[in-house]
Amino acid sequence: MEITIKGQHALHEEVRQAKFCTGCGACVNLCPYHAAHGDQIVMLHACDIKEGRCYAYCPRTPTDMDSLRKQLFNTEDMMPEVGAMKGFYVVRAGDEKLRSGAQHGGTVTALMILAMQEGFIDSAIVADEGDGLLPKGITVNIPDEIGKKGKSRFVVSPNVAEFNALAWVGGRKIGIVATPCQALALGKMRAKPVPTHAERIDQLKLVIGLFCGWALSWEKLSALIRSKGVDLKDIEGMDIPPSKYQLLQVYTKKGTVDIPLDEVDPACVRGACHYCPDMTAEFADISVGSARLPEGWDVAKGWNQVITRTSLGEQLLALARSKGVLEFRKVPKGNLERLKKASMSKKKTAEKNLAIRNGQPKDNINMDSQNPGLDNV
């Protein structure tokens, strides 16, 4: 597939103005012309370069997925529903204290700490929060500090921007926690589409992807939470339990606040997410999500489901097992099938939404920037 790399103007028109932008941050900190403010990407000045890295790295510009997959993964490992899979596991962090400070099974946190302790990486980029839920990416160089940033956010944190800034400085081994769109952007960067500063991506050593259904718009979510009388400063964490509960749970210093999911989805969902076909972060080294167990959510909420996609991913997981950093349990029968079904459902929805937007029933490759999108970006 012939891909044309364009510049900032096209990026602005085809992605930002068309409301396809996922806020991943891949276009930020490459140059002085973009900035991230919370989950929004803003243009600071106009750039007239014909072929820009911003356009090349953006996960929402035309991408030759086939070619990218071939470059990054083994063809034998490819599963159409969930991407490359070397292994599928149900795990949780071995350290109970770590688990309580993190989300669900604490697997992402545990793996990142292990990677740093073992020297795979010297810097970990994770999501953090500024005032009032405002997301931002931060770099952590001390294993202990990783544990402090272990809670889930439901608003996109532009972590790739933090990667770009760090990689610019140079001389690092970087690990990053990434949403599916961020993993895709990093994957596109790994393919080195533009020669300028292409060697910087070599500093990326580990991508831990997160399962993702959609992200919420920071503006809409913070307004909703405030309307429930919650002071954003009091928030300690958030979760969305399995769909049968139909809730967004907000954990505050004063207790848990349950918000009906129908007030959140679709009203607060980031519009661009409706066109995303990737639930399991198919371009990561390891992808992690919450588990489903026969005992039910009360038990399952303390575990994770993990897909390893690259040999590094397998290697890290094996190391985690041998050091007791992760506890493993037998994968329940049907879990993979359930996961595949869920993932396919997201793909079908994305395809349907694209078709509606483009007015073409079979078009699931091209995002039509001429058709203005939904209200939430």
Partner 1 sequence: MSKITKNQKGLQFLLMGNEAIARGALEAGVNVAAGYPGTPSSEIVETLSKVAKEMHLYVEWSVNEKVSLEVAAAASFANLRALCPMKQNGVNVASDFLLHLAGSGTRGGLVLVSCDDPGALSSVNEGESRHFARLVEIPLLEPGNFQEAKDMTKWAFELSEEIKSIVMLRSVTRMSHASGSVVYGPLPDKTAKGYFKSDGFILDPDTGPVISAPVGYKHVVQQEKVKKAREIFESSPFNTYEGPSMPELLIITSSACTLYSREAVRLLGLENRVGLLKLGTTWPLPPKLLKKHLSATDKILIVEEVLPFLEENVKVIAAEEAKEIGAKTFYGKNDGTIPMNGELNPDIVIKAFGHILGVSYVPMTPEYEKKAQLTAFTMAPNREQTFCPGCPHRASFWSIHQALQIDNRQGFVCGDIGCYSMAALPCGFSTIRTLHSMGSGLGVASGFGKLEMFGMNQSILAVCGDSTFFHSVMPPLVNAVHHRANVTLVILDNSGTAMTGFQPHPGLGVDAMGGEAPPVDISRVCEAIGAKVEIRDPFDIEETRNTLSRLLKEDGVKVLILKQICALSPEKKGKKKYTMSISETLCIGEECGCNRLCTRIFRCPGLVWDKERKKTRIDDVICSGCGVCSLICTTGAIIRKEAV
User: Which window, 34-42, 63-71, 94-102, 342-350, contacts partner 1 (CB under 8 A)?
Assistant: 34-42
Q: Whole-number minimum distance, CB 24 to partner 1, in Å?
A: 17
Question: d(Cα 205, Cα 102) in Å, to the nearest integer?
Answer: 23
Q: Does 191 bind partner 1 (CB under 8 A)?
A: no
User: Which window, 45-53, 101-109, 309-317, 335-343, contacts partner 1 (CB under 8 A)?
Assistant: 45-53
Q: By CB under 8 A, name the one of 32, 171, 229, 255 that touches partner 1.
A: 32
Q: Whole-number minimum distance, CB 265 to partner 1, in Å?
A: 24
Asked if 20 contacts 369 with a C-beta cutoff of 8 angstroms, the reply is yes
Question: d(Cα 62, Cα 81) in Å, to the nearest integer?
Answer: 21
Q: Does 134 bind partner 1 (CB under 8 A)?
A: no
- In the chain, DSSP assigns E strands to 34-37, 40-43, 78-79, 83-84, 87-93, 123-129, 135-140, 174-178, 204-210, 235-239, 247-252, 255-260, 286-290, 304-308, 326-329
Q: Does 197 bind partner 1 (CB under 8 A)?
A: yes
Q: Whole-number minimum distance, CB 226 to partner 1, in Å?
A: 15
Q: Does 30 bind partner 1 (CB under 8 A)?
A: yes
Q: Does 40 bind partner 1 (CB under 8 A)?
A: yes
User: Which window, 30-38, 98-106, 205-213, 285-293, contacts partner 1 (CB under 8 A)?
Assistant: 30-38
Q: By CB under 8 A, name the one of 117, 141, 196, 311 that touches partner 1.
A: 196
Q: Whole-number minimum distance, CB 36 to partner 1, in Å?
A: 9
Kind of pairing between the strands at 247-252 and 235-239: antiparallel
Q: Closer CB to partner 1, residue 222 or residue 308?
A: 222
DSSP conformation class of 151: S
Query: In terms of residues, how long is the chain?
Result: 377
DSSP bridge pairs for 89: 306
Q: Does 47 bind partner 1 (CB under 8 A)?
A: yes
Q: Whole-number minimum distance, CB 140 to partner 1, in Å?
A: 24
- 3 state DSSP class of 112: helix
Asked if 41 contacts 161 with a C-beta cutoff of 8 angstroms, the reply is no
Q: Closer CB to partner 1, residue 49 or residue 312?
A: 49
Q: Whole-number minimum distance, CB 19 to partner 1, in Å?
A: 14
Asked if 99 contacts 106 with a C-beta cutoff of 8 angstroms, the reply is yes
Kind of pairing between the strands at 83-84 and 78-79: antiparallel
User: Which window, 50-58, 250-258, 293-301, 360-368, contacts partner 1 (CB under 8 A)?
Assistant: 50-58
Q: Closer CB to partner 1, residue 104 or residue 188?
A: 188
What is the Cα 138 distance to its own chain's centre?
A: 15
Q: Closer CB to partner 1, residue 42 or residue 299?
A: 42
Q: By CB under 8 A, name the one of 2, 4, 45, 330 that touches partner 1.
A: 45
User: Which window, 39-47, 84-92, 110-118, 234-242, contacts partner 1 (CB under 8 A)?
Assistant: 39-47
Q: Closer CB to partner 1, residue 136 or residue 347?
A: 136
DSSP-assigned letters across all residues of 50-108: SS-HHHHH-TTS---HHHHHHHHS-GGGEETTTEE-SEEEEEEES-HHHHHHSSTT-HH
Q: How far is CA 294 from CA 68, 291, 299, 335, 337, in A?
A: 37, 10, 9, 10, 14
DSSP bridge pairs for 239: 249
Asked if 20 contacts 60 with a C-beta cutoff of 8 angstroms, the reply is yes
Q: Does 49 bind partner 1 (CB under 8 A)?
A: yes
How many of the other CB atoms lie within 10 Å of CB of 312?
16
| 311 CB-near residues (< 8 Å, 6+ apart) | 86
Q: Does 171 bind partner 1 (CB under 8 A)?
A: no
Q: Does 194 bind partner 1 (CB under 8 A)?
A: yes
Q: Does 48 bind partner 1 (CB under 8 A)?
A: yes
Find the binding residues for partner 1 in span 73-92 (CB under 8 A): none
Binding site for partner 1 (CB under 8 A): 30-33, 35, 37, 40, 42-45, 47-49, 51-53, 194, 196-197
